[in-house]
Structure formats: structure tokens, C-alpha cells
Structure 1
Amino acid sequence: MSTSIEISGGSAASDKSGLSAHPLVTKSSKNVTSFATEQKQAIDIHGNVFKVPDYTIKDILSAIPKHCYERRLWQSLHYVVRDILACVILSKIGFTLIPMVENQLVRFVLWGVLSYSIGLFYFGLWILAHECGHGAFSDYTSVNDTVGWFLHSYLLVPYFSWKFSHSKHHKATGHLTRDMVFVPYSKKEYLEAKGKSKISEVTEETPIVTFFTLIFQQLGGLHLYLLTNATGQPHPDHSALGRSHFNPSSPIFEKNDYWYIILSDIGMISTFTVVYLWYKTFGGFSVLINWFIPWLWTNHWLVFVTFLQHTDPTMPHYDAEEWTFAKGAAATIDRNFGFIGQHIFHDIIETHVLHHYVSRIPFYNAREATREIKKVMGEHYRYDGENMWKSLWKVARSCQFVEGDNGVRMFRNINNIGVKPTDNIE
């Protein structure tokens, strides 16, 4: 079976050794030569020295066994069927047994547990659609786009719109002016947002403000991003809705994407129609428990997971002149979400660093590939096994903006956590 290796969101045919012919991995590449000859440093929030990675894309790809690139349609479809069946079975059991419980409070809790459980598998289905968008689901583009369109539309994510903007995110991860999501404030931007001229003029953020900011982020962050491109690049010449993922003329898309964006919007309209018919046939409570609350949980999990994959006190971001694909892909972090992360969220949390190097490797081969690239990355591989809820709070308190004067920028904050930012405006 032929394989392909994705570099920065695209694909190229593999040679016999399994290495891509993409220009980033050729010996004559400017990216590789400059990358290998200079290793800059910076200081992270904890005061530790961060060293810019000194290996090449070719080193990473050489370490991955060829069979890890194999995409098996039957295996991918099995997970789609499994997750859908899990939702149906959970609903059937819940709607059969929970009404038999006499205590109203216990019933209320059980309905909540049911919706939460369905929401876990909804996010699993979201991840499988995400695999479709990267071409990691199967070797067949038409199958990938069909399955991805149905699954993402059902979860109110515009499939092609997400696919295109997400591809650009992969092409420019960690790039301060080209990355597409969770782009941090520079210190200058942070001060402008606060209406101040010096860091010393900004007061510490209270924990209660952090708490409510997180609540808003977790519940509304996804659709604020989809509607207005919040946390993406600013595009100041366009209105908030003009930057929307639902707008086929948005600057985040290319002109030839236009009708695909329309098709994505049709998916949204189709889902609203299905939900309305569901409501008319089975009632609002069925929609609430089986779709709406699980959909809210899906939104939460997506923001929760992606935020923590790309934001950490040890994480660098790069100015344009310093960024390379290899550096940017390393500016991600693997975390651990236990049984749920591995078996329901399809390892998207535990193998995300690999995913940014080669996003066409299917999730069921990602752990093996991760073990191999760790040998190449060495100290540059990031993993944090801390409880992710604790990490969410720590990251929200400590990662407010980035600063640096050599093209490598590290997170700082005004909450007196770790290394203090300088008072000058860069």
C-alpha cells in the first residue's frame, strides 16, 4: 500500500525509505541548514533554560516505522460505529432505567451523568472527524470528506471550514503572525488591550476573574472562534463576522475554498433541521439529554484539550524570522487523560506532538510512532502527566502573553508567578 507523509498540513509521496520528498527535508533546504547551525536559548516562566530544537524534519521522519503510516479504512470505520453504538446504548439504558428512580434529586444527577457520558463519545466522534480532515482516516479522500462532513456537521462544526483553517494551523504552529488558533498576546498587544504603557501599571488579575474567564472559554470558546476567529489572527480590516468560519469570503480561506464553505454551512442547516424534527417527534427532553448537553460537553472538551496542547509555561512561540516548521511542531505538549484519553478520545491528548509532525498517521499507530520520535527529540519532547484540571488553572494564571528579544518568545504574566516580565515595550 502506498503511503504519504504530511509536512505542514500538506502531503508528498514517500520514497523507499519512508522519507518525504518535501523540500523541508532535503539537505539543500535553507530551513534545515540554518536550523542545524544555530541553537538559540530563552528562559521559561520557571527560570529554566529553553533550548531551541537542533534536529531536522528528516531526523524525525527517519525514526518513524513505515507501517505507522498505514491507514486502514475498516479499522477507522469500526471506531465510528463503536462510538455511535455507545451513544445509542447509553441513551437506551438511561431512558429505560432512570425514570424508575423515585428520588428526584438522584434522577437529576443520573440524567446529568448520562449526558456527560454521551458527551465523551461525542468528542470521540469529533476526533474521528478531525482524522478525516487530515486524511488520516483512510486512503480515500471522498470517504474521509463524507464521514467528516456528517460527523462534524452533527456536532455543529463546519467541516471544510475547520479543515482548511486547521490545516493552516498545522502549517504555522507556534508562529506568532501565521498560526490560526490560541495565538498569544505579545507584551505590546497585552498592554494595548489593557490601555497601559508599562507592565508595572497593570494590576494582578484576581483568581475569581481567572475562574469566570475559564468558564466562558470552556463553554463558549469554540463557537466564538468559529463565529469571529477569536484567538486567531486579528485581520483588522474585516469585521468579526467577516472573519467567520461560516463566511465563504473570510480572509482565513482561499478563493477556491468558497463552495466548500457553503457546503459546510449546508451541513449546519441540515443539523438544525434534524434536531428540529427530533424535537417535534420525541420532545425537547430527548433533545436536551441526547444532543444539546452532550454538544456542550463536546465544546468544552475541544477547548480544554486544544488549549492545553498549545499553551504551557515551558512553551515557546517564534517570530517570523526565527520560526521553522520543525521548531513550531515541537512547540506542543503531550498530556495524560487516563482511560478516557486513550480509549474514548482516541489518544489525541497523549500523542499530539507526533500529530503536529505527521498528521496523516492514524491515531491507532500514533503511540508507536511517538515512542520513536521521542528518541530523536530528547529534551525537546514535552510531556506533562499532571492532572489536566490542575494544569488548566496553572496555565490560565501563568500564560497571559509572550515576550523575548531574540525571536524566541516565552510566556509571562502579571500575577507574580515565576519569572517577571520586563517593563519595556518590545
Structure 2
Amino acid sequence: MTLSFVKPQDSGTTLEVSSNFRLRDILRTLPKEVFLKNRRKAWTSVVINVLLVCLGYASIAFSPWFLLPFAWIFTGTALTGFFVIGHDCGHRSFANRRWVNDLLGHAMMLPLIYPFHSWRLLHNHHHAHTNKMDEDNAWQPLKPEFYDSLNLLGQWVYQLVRGRFWWVGSIGHWALLHFNWNRFEGKKREQVRFSVLLVLGFAAIVFPTLIATTGIWGFVKFWLMPWMVYHFWMSTFTLVHHTYADIPFKPEAEWNEAMAQLAGSVHCDYPSWVEFLCHDINVHIPHHVSTAIPSYNLRLAHRSIKENWGEYVREYTFSWSLMKQITDECHLYDPEKCYESFGNHHAKEK
């Protein structure tokens, strides 16, 4: 049995692979050093990131009003770096000791009000079922029949987050999925409860203190606006990582793990300052091939994947035209064309 996939960046060509193609076939081609943890590199990234976030907050405090947007963008992007370090901790690729990963992961995600354990568990589910229809929990397109069953408000909200307001999509994901510990069982439920109560306790102390000392405007200036920039990057990274007009979501019977991680993941080049502040999270294909690869080894792993599996590799450059194409076309699930736009769907309904 073979599986067919559209060749990246060449919509007229398809690639066929055996259904027996496995991730281990890709892993065997990677150099061993990409899996090695480097304590100096890991902790240096933490120290630099903390200093940059402090610099960002100082710039917010002392900037005149007309420079505040630049200070917010810088600080929010640096806070995204906090999340990426927590992301490595969640995958246990930051440190060898689990308690170190858990402690640092919670510390990095606290300012973002993100419960570490619930994110870790849900994100691992995304990795286990990447681009598998009805299972993946990251930007899975709605099926047309489900979309039609929504009321007008539900359809309008979905149109917003799949359209020009994609940048608020991760806020809904954060709010709706990460604070309900009852969706987990056993030890996982206790871990999630701890993380949720920790961030709620943090917010209950920090937010009133911030408002009492700086006023409502201080809350908006020092926390809300950088947090919104962080969610802009979260939404953008996660949408672009697995979304393009010819990247399929497959039903379980047709899904192949290796092809989903290799050809269903996207490498996107961003401005170098964004990549630096966000610890190369944009180098995404090797991360999906193996979550054990630390962020500082992703570029080496990507070069190896390009050398050995280049025909499957998708590489794009972040731009308005890229986001416009994704938000204009990639709306509803279509088993044959991958995606159907809202316009085409509503035209058929008339």
C-alpha cells in the first residue's frame, strides 16, 4: 500500500511513499549530536532571555507614548522566548532531571498565565496526532457539516480566527482548553490542577498589585499589551507550522506519522531578531521529527533533514502575502483539496 502527498512547493507533482514509512527511518539519518543536551547553552539562553525581558519592561516604563508600540512588540516577543524555553521543558529536552524541567517550565509560563502541565499534556497529544483529522488539537479545520451546524455567532467567530483575526486564535485555545483539570484523569489531573491553581494564584496577587500601584493603564501597558503580542506570535507560529493550501489533514485510516511530521510541518523564516528572541521555534520540522532535540540544535537537524529528505521539506518566508494566502484559503476541511474557503463553501450553499 502507498500513500500520496503533494510535493512541497510544486502543486503539480505528488509523492508516493510506502505505508510502512516510519519516523525511525528519518531519525536514523540525523547526526547523534542533535540529541545532546548542552547545559551551558540551555542556561545561557535562560539568562539572556530574562535580561531581555527586563530590558523590555524598562523600555515600557521609560518610553514616551509614541515609542510604546515598539516596546510592547519587543517585550511580547521576548516573552514568547519564555514560552519556548517552557516548551523545551515540557518536552524534557531542556534538562535531564524532570523536576528541573517542571520547575523552570512553570517559572517561564507564569507571567503568561499559562498552566504548564495542561499545556504540556495537550501539546504532546498534538505531536502524537499531528494533522490527523478529529484528533489534532492545534488549528484543525472544521468539517463543513459541523461549521453549518453552528449558529451565526459561532460561524462568525470561526471566520474571524481563520481570517484576518488569526492572531487572537491562541487566546481562545488558551482559555478553552487549559484550565479544566476534569478533562484529565489520575496523576495527570493532579498535575494540571496544581498548574492551574498556581497561575491563578499568581494572577490573583500580581494583577491587583499592578493595578493598585500603576492603575488600569499600568495593567494594560505592562501586562496586557505585551501579552497580546505574545499571542500574536503564538497564533502565527502555530498556524503557519502546519497550514498551507496543499497540506492535508488525514483521517486515521490514511494517516502516516512520518509523513505528517515531515511533509506536514513547515519551516518558515522570520526576521532574525524574532528567531533569536524566540529560540528558533520557527525551525519546526526537526522538532516534529523528534521532540528530544533541544531548540539550540534545531538548525543542525534541519540541515541534515534537507540533505536527506529535501523533496519533502516545506520552506516559506513570513510575509503578509503568506498570511493572506493562508487566511484567504485555509478555512474548512476538504478531503480531496485539503481546504475549502468560506467563499466557495457559501457559494455552494446558495
Q: CA deviation at 1:115?
A: 1.6
Correspondence 1:159 to 2:116: yes
Residue 279 of structure 1: aligned partner? 211
1:178 and 1:61, CA in 2 relative to 1: closer, same or farther beyond 3 A?
same
Distance in 1 between residues matched to 2:346 and 2:244, nearest whole Å: 16
Code of the residue aligned with 2:182 in structure 1: it is: S
Q: Could you tell me the TM-score, scaled by structure 1's length?
A: 0.73
Q: CA deviation at 1:183?
A: 1.1
Residue 139 of structure 1: aligned partner? 96
Which SS does the other structure have where 1:148 is aligned? helix
Q: CA deviation at 1:114?
A: 1.2
1:381 and 1:275, CA in 2 relative to 1: closer, same or farther beyond 3 A?
same
CA contact 1:46–1:313 (8 Å) conserved in 2: no
Residue 367 of structure 1: aligned partner? 299
Matches within 5 A, 1:94-105: 94-96=60-62, 98=63
Residue 218 of structure 1: aligned partner? 167
Bigger radius of gyration: 1
CA contact 1:400–1:412 (8 Å) conserved in 2: yes
Q: CA deviation at 1:181?
A: 1.7
- Of 314, 329, 332, 1:382 maps to 314
Distance in 2 between residues matched to 1:75 and 1:156, nearest whole Å: 26
Q: What are the Cα deviations for residues 60-82 of structure 1, in whole angstroms up to 9, with x where unaligned?
A: 11111111111123321221221
Distance in 2 between residues matched to 1:377 and 1:50, nearest whole Å: 15
Q: CA deviation at 1:153?
A: 2.0
- Of 88, 113, 129, 2:54 maps to 88
1:266 and 1:190, CA in 2 relative to 1: closer, same or farther beyond 3 A?
closer
Residue 266 of structure 2: aligned partner? 333
1:388 and 1:141, CA in 2 relative to 1: closer, same or farther beyond 3 A?
farther
CA contact 1:402–1:412 (8 Å) conserved in 2: yes
CA contact 2:34–2:293 (8 Å) conserved in 1: yes
1:50 and 1:402, CA in 2 relative to 1: closer, same or farther beyond 3 A?
farther
Correspondence 1:123 to 2:80: yes
- Of 233, 240, 262, 1:301 maps to 233
Q: CA deviation at 1:39?
A: 3.2
- Of 167, 179, 183, 2:136 maps to 179
In the alignment of these two chains, the number of paired residues is 342
1:376 and 1:281, CA in 2 relative to 1: closer, same or farther beyond 3 A?
same
Correspondence 1:38 to 2:12: no
CA contact 1:354–1:373 (8 Å) conserved in 2: yes
CA contact 2:332–2:342 (8 Å) conserved in 1: no
- Of 63, 70, 89, 2:29 maps to 63
Which SS does the other structure have where 2:339 is aligned? strand
| Coordinate RMSD, CA, aligned | 3.0
CA contact 1:175–1:317 (8 Å) conserved in 2: yes
Q: Could you tell me the TM-score, scaled by structure 2's length?
A: 0.87
Residue 75 of structure 1: aligned partner? 41
Residue 332 of structure 2: aligned partner? 401
Q: CA deviation at 1:412?
A: 2.6
Residue 292 of structure 1: aligned partner? 224
Residue 25 of structure 1: aligned partner? none
Code of the residue aligned with 1:402 in structure 2: it is: Y
Q: CA deviation at 1:93?
A: 4.7
Distance in 1 between residues matched to 2:7 and 2:59, nearest whole Å: 53
Q: CA deviation at 1:381?
A: 1.1
1:255 and 1:119, CA in 2 relative to 1: closer, same or farther beyond 3 A?
same
CA contact 1:249–1:255 (8 Å) conserved in 2: no
Q: CA deviation at 1:421?
A: 12
Q: CA deviation at 1:329?
A: 0.9
1:268 and 1:344, CA in 2 relative to 1: closer, same or farther beyond 3 A?
same
Distance in 2 between residues matched to 1:128 and 1:58, nearest whole Å: 26
- Of 412, 416, 420, 2:340 maps to 412
Residue 150 of structure 1: aligned partner? 107
Q: What are the Cα deviations for residues 130-165 of structure 1, in whole angstroms up to 9, with x where unaligned?
A: 111111111111111101111112201111000001
Q: CA deviation at 1:265?
A: 1.2
Code of the residue aligned with 2:251 in structure 1: it is: D
Q: What are the Cα deviations for residues 253-273 of structure 1, in whole angstroms up to 9, with x where unaligned?
A: 343311111111122223211
Which SS does the other structure have where 1:39 is aligned? strand
Which SS does the other structure have where 2:134 is aligned? coil
1:57 and 1:91, CA in 2 relative to 1: closer, same or farther beyond 3 A?
closer
1:412 and 1:282, CA in 2 relative to 1: closer, same or farther beyond 3 A?
closer
- 135-144 vs 262-271, greater mean Cα deviation: 262-271
CA contact 2:22–2:257 (8 Å) conserved in 1: no
Q: What are the Cα deviations for residues 302-327 of structure 1, in whole angstroms up to 9, with x where unaligned?
A: 01110111111121111111112212
Residue 200 of structure 2: aligned partner? 269
Q: CA deviation at 1:216?
A: 4.3
Distance in 1 between residues matched to 2:8 and 2:147, nearest whole Å: 18
Code of the residue aligned with 2:324 in structure 1: it is: W
> Where is the helix percentage greater, Structure 1 or Structure 2?
2
1:287 and 1:375, CA in 2 relative to 1: closer, same or farther beyond 3 A?
same
- Of 256, 266, 275, 1:342 maps to 275
- 70-79 vs 133-142, greater mean Cα deviation: 70-79
Distance in 1 between residues matched to 2:60 and 2:7, nearest whole Å: 52
Q: CA deviation at 1:194?
A: 8.2
Distance in 2 between residues matched to 1:308 and 1:79, nearest whole Å: 25
Residue 187 of structure 2: aligned partner? 256
Distance in 2 between residues matched to 1:294 and 1:311, nearest whole Å: 26
Residue 241 of structure 1: aligned partner? none
Which SS does the other structure have where 2:182 is aligned? coil
